[in-house]
Amino acid sequence: MDNFFVIKNIDADDNGDLNSRIKFNLSHKIFLGHFPENPIVPGVMSINLVKQILSKYLKKELMLIKGNNIKFTAVIKPDVYCEVDVNINFKIDINKLCNVKALIFSGELIFLKFAGVFKFV
């Protein structure tokens, strides 16, 4: 999934949330099959995007072990929304598991609401 998207920034706010903006690579080969005349970001890649941002911020590799609540509320069409915002709230518990709540959105339009657990690998 190299160069599927570029992380433009990762900023931590006063509440401990991460706020990031990413830009999709519309010429990435994944869009040739998903779908050739109507490219959309695959749902699994939206979750991977959350993982990649958090991994980069924490400087540690992560693996999803539980999806508590995953809602795809709109389709991300990268030719329309080539850049999207990502908000990630996370807490690392005593078992060294990373509990995450995240949103992928553009303005008022929310594409993904995610709650899950990642572990360090």
pLDDT tens digit sequence for 42-97: 999 999 999 999 999 999 999 999 999 999 999 999 999 999 999 999 999 999 99
d(CA 88, CA 58) in angstroms, rounded, equals: 12
Helix, strand, coil shares of the chain as percentages rounded to 5?
15, 50, 35
Confidence label for 36 from pLDDT (cuts 50, 70 and 90): confident
What's the predicted TM-score (pTM) here? Answer: 0.95
Statement: 5-120 belongs to CATH 3.10.129.10: yes
Domain chopping of the chain, boundaries:
5-120
> H or E stretch including 53?
helix 43-58
Mean pLDDT for the chain? 95
**pLDDT attached to residue 76:** 98
